[in-house]
Amino acid sequence: MPVRAVHPDELTVLQDIERAAGRCFRDIGMPEIADDEPPALGELATYREAGLAWVAVDAADTPVAYLIAERVDGNLHVEQVSVRPDHARRGIGRSLLEHLASVAVGEGVPALTLTTFAEVPWNAPYYVRCGFRPLAAEALAPGLREIRAREAAHGLDRWPRVCMRRDL
């Protein structure tokens, strides 16, 4: 599935993808995550304007998944990757991650990082299959520690969280 930069008029589509993907959390007893609002349009626009927002598109060039990233501790950090449930389990999320890895390698960035739920099957276990490894809390650089503090303040630590890294 092709991956391309997000167009300015697609930001609401990203929010729709996020809401649809989030509904799966309700089925595993995490309704607060399912009900969490996606990033605001202004925040999504900031990622797009920085060149750090991509979509996977279907044959009609309609986004079915997206990834946004930021620069953290000298690496590219996956802020969010979401796939519409009706397009899940087709390697689309992995394609977006591979695209980001290619961008990172092209820029000489040494690694990708992310934070995720440790026990959700399509979170940490999935990222391990994509080449990420968990990081011990004491191994976190300042930027990742700051992200984890924001997540904790947002209530995400109600469920086990993990920081992960994929060396490139």
| Contact of 39 with 18, CB cutoff 8 Å | yes
Range of the domain at 97: 3-167
Instruction: Please write the tens of the pLDDT for every residue from 52-61.
Output: 999 999 999 9
Number of domains in the chain: 1
Nearest alpha-carbon partner for 166 in 120, 126, 119: 126
The DSSP element (H or E) to which 22 belongs, if any, is: helix 11-22
Please report, for residues 108, 109, 115, 156, the alpha-carbon distance to residue 151 in angstroms, rounded to integers and kept in the order given.
28, 24, 9, 5
CA 60 to chain centre: 24
Nearest alpha-carbon partner for 1 in 42, 57, 49, 53: 57
d(CA 138, CA 72): 17
Whether the predicted pLDDT of 89 surpasses 90: no
Q: What is the pLDDT of residue 101?
A: 98
- Average pLDDT of the residues in 133-149: 96
What's the maximum distance between 2 C-alpha atoms anywhere in the chain? 46
* pLDDT band at 88; cut points 50, 70, 90: confident
153: left (phi over 0), alpha (psi -120 to 50) or beta: alpha
Instruction: Please write the tens of the pLDDT for every residue from 22-47.
Output: 999 999 999 999 898 999 999 999 99
Whether the predicted pLDDT of 112 surpasses 90: yes
Q: What is the pLDDT of residue 111?
A: 98
- Average pLDDT of the residues in 93-112: 98
Q: Write the CATH number for 124.
A: 3.40.630.30
The secondary structure of residue 155, as a DSSP letter, is T
d(CA 125, CA 147): 21
Average pLDDT, the chain: 95
